[in-house]
C-alpha cells in the first residue's frame, strides 16, 4: 500500500516539472491529453485502487483526487499564461490593419518634359545626340563663328574653368592660349559641331542638355538650365522646313490653338536668324522660347573635316529653353521652384 501511495505522491512534482517546460498551446494540449485525458496518467492510476486493501481505498481515493486537483489547477494557470503570452504577440501584429504604403518617388518634371520632347521629335524623324558639359572654346565659340573679340566670350558672362598650372596654382584667363580654355558650356549649340564632326548628312538630331551662365537668378533666370537644340543638315534644306517644323512642334506640344511668332534676330552661327515666342495664356504675354535660323556657312565648314564639301549642304537649327517649355506646359510660375527640390512641389507632376 505504501508503494501505491508513494506513486501517487510522485505525480504532482512530475507533472509540475513537465508543465513548466510548456511554452505554447500545442505543448499545452499534449500535456492535457497525457495527464488529464480520458486515457491519461491520472485515469490509469485509478486502476491501482484494485491493489489497495478495502479499508485503505478511501485514503487512496482522497490522495489521488488531491493530486488530480493540484495538477488541474497547475494546468489552468499555465494555460492562462501561455494564452496571454500568445495574445500579446497578436496585439503587436494586427494583420487586419491596412498597412503603411511606402512613399514612391517620381521623376523630376524636367526629366519628364525632356522625355516628352525627344519622343515628339522622334516621331518627326529626329534622333538624339549629346555632348560634354565641360567644353573647349573651339566647340563653344570658334566653330560656331563667335570670334575672340565677341562680347559673348567675356569672362564675366561665362563659367571659365581656371586650368591648374602647378601646385595649387591657377592661371589667369588671359595667360591661357585661345582654344585651350575650358568652360561650362553656355549653349547646346556646341553639340551641333560635335555631331557634324562625326556624322554625315542627312543629319536630323535633337540635343537636350544642361547649360551654364552666370546670370542673376530671378523668376525666369537661373545659372544652370536646359536647352533643346535641333540640327538638320542636308542638301536643299530651306527656311520653310525650319518654320513648319517649329510650328508643328509648338502645336503638337502646347495645343493646336497656341499662338507662336517669329521675330528677326541675330546669332553668329545662323543667317538669317529668328527668335521664337509663344504666347503664355496664363500670364497674357509673349515669352521667348529661344533662337533659330539657317546654319551659317562658316559653321557648316566643320563638315569639310570629314572630306565633304560643305558648300553643297544647307541646314537649320534651333535652341529652345526647356524650363520655359515646362513652365508654359505645366503652368509653373517661377523657374526657381524647379531647382529648390521641395518634394511637395515636385510630387505634383
Q: Which residues of this chain interact with ligand DAH, rule CB under 6 A?
A: 187, 189, 229, 267, 270, 273, 290-293, 317-319
Nearer to ligand DAH, 74 or 114 (CB): 114
Residues 275 and 251 sit within 8 Å (Cβ to Cβ): no
CB of 187 to ligand DAH, least distance (A): 4
Nearer to ligand DAH, 78 or 226 (CB): 226
- The order of strands in the sheet holding 270-280 is 127-128, 203-212, 224-234, 314-321, 285-295, 270-280, 260-267
CB of 215 to ligand DAH, least distance (A): 12
CB of 342 to ligand DAH, least distance (A): 28
Nearer to ligand DAH, 181 or 190 (CB): 190
Would you list the DSSP string of 98-114?
--PPPPPP---HHHHHH
* Residue 60: its H or E element: helix 57-92
- Give CA angle at 65 (62, 66), nearest 5°: 85
CB of 137 to ligand DAH, least distance (A): 15
Nearer to ligand DAH, 185 or 328 (CB): 185
CB of 296 to ligand DAH, least distance (A): 9
d(CA 317, CA 242): 8
Most distant CA pair in the chain: distance in Å?
A: 134
Nearer to ligand DAH, 181 or 188 (CB): 188
Residues 61 and 48 sit within 8 Å (Cβ to Cβ): no
Q: Are strands 224-234 and 260-267 parallel, antiparallel or unpaired?
A: unpaired
From the number of C-beta atoms within 10 Å of its C-beta (0-12, 13-18, 19+), residue 191 rates as buried
CB of 170 to ligand DAH, least distance (A): 27
- Give CA angle at 342 (340, 346), nearest 5°: 105
Nearer to ligand DAH, 158 or 273 (CB): 273
CB of 233 to ligand DAH, least distance (A): 12
Alpha-carbon distance values, 347 to 12, 103, 219, 237, 344 (Å): 69, 11, 21, 43, 5
Nearest to 65 by CA among 8, 20, 17, 4: 8
Nearer to ligand DAH, 22 or 292 (CB): 292
CB of 293 to ligand DAH, least distance (A): 4
CB of 179 to ligand DAH, least distance (A): 20
Nearer to ligand DAH, 155 or 331 (CB): 155
3-state secondary structure of 149: coil
Residues 241 and 163 sit within 8 Å (Cβ to Cβ): no
Nearer to ligand DAH, 11 or 292 (CB): 292
Amino acid at each position: 500500500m505504501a508503494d501505491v501511495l508513494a506513486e501517487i505522491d510522485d505525480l504532482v512534482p512530475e507533472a509540475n516539472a513537465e508543465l513548466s517546460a510548456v511554452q505554447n498551446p500545442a505543448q499545452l494540449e499534449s500535456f492535457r491529453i497525457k495527464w488529464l485525458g480520458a486515457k491519461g496518467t491520472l485515469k490509469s492510476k485509478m486502476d491501482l485502487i484494485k491493489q489497495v486493501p478495502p479499508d485503505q481505498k478511501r485514503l487512496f481515493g482522497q490522495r489521488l483526487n488531491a493530486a488530480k486537483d493540484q495538477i488541474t489547477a497547475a494546468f489552468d494557470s499555465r494555460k492562462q499564461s501561455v494564452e496571454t503570452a500568445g495574445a500579446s504577440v497578436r496585439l503587436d501584429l494586427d494583420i487586419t490593419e491596412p498597412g503603411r504604403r511606402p512613399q514612391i518617388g517620381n521623376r523630376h518634371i524636367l526629366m519628364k518634359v525632356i522625355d516628352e520632347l525627344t519622343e515628339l521629335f522622334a516621331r518627326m524623324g529626329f534622333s538624339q545626340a549629346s555632348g560634354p558639359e565641360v567644353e573647349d572654346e573651339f566647340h563653344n565659340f570658334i566653330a560656331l563663328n563667335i570670334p575672340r573679340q565677341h562680347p559673348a566670350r567675356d569672362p564675366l558672362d561665362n563659367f571659365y574653368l581656371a586650368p591648374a598650372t602647378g601646385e595649387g596654382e591657377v592661371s589667369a584667363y588671359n595667360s591661357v592660349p585661345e582654344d585651350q580654355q575650358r568652360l561650362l558650356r553656355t549653349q547646346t549649340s556646341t553639340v551641333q559641331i560635335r555631331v557634324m564632326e562625326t556624322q554625315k548628312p542627312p543629319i536630323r538630331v535633337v540635343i537636350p542638355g544642361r547649360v551654364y551662365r552666370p546670370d542673376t537668378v530671378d523668376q525666369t533666370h537661373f545659372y544652370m538650365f536646359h536647352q533643346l537644340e535641333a540640327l538638320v543638315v542636308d542638301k536643299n534644306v530651306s527656311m520653310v522646313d525650319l518654320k513648319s517644323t517649329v510650328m508643328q512642334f509648338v502645336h503638337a506640344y502646347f495645343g493646336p490653338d497656341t499662338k507662336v511668332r517669329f521675330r528677326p534676330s541675330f546669332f553668329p552661327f545662323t543667317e538669317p536668324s529668328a527668335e521664337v515666342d509663344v504666347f503664355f495664356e496664363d500670364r497674357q504675354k509673349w515669352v521667348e522660347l529661344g533662337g533659330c535660323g539657317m546654319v551659317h556657312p562658316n559653321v557648316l565648314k566643320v563638315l569639310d573635316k570629314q572630306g565633304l564639301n560643305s558648300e553643297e549642304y544647307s541646314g537649320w537649327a534651333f535652341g529652345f529653353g526647356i524650363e520655359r517649355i515646362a513652365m508654359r506646359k505645366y503652368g509653373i510660375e517661377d523657374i526657381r521652384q524647379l531647382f529648390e527640390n521641395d518634394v511637395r512641389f515636385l510630387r505634383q507632376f
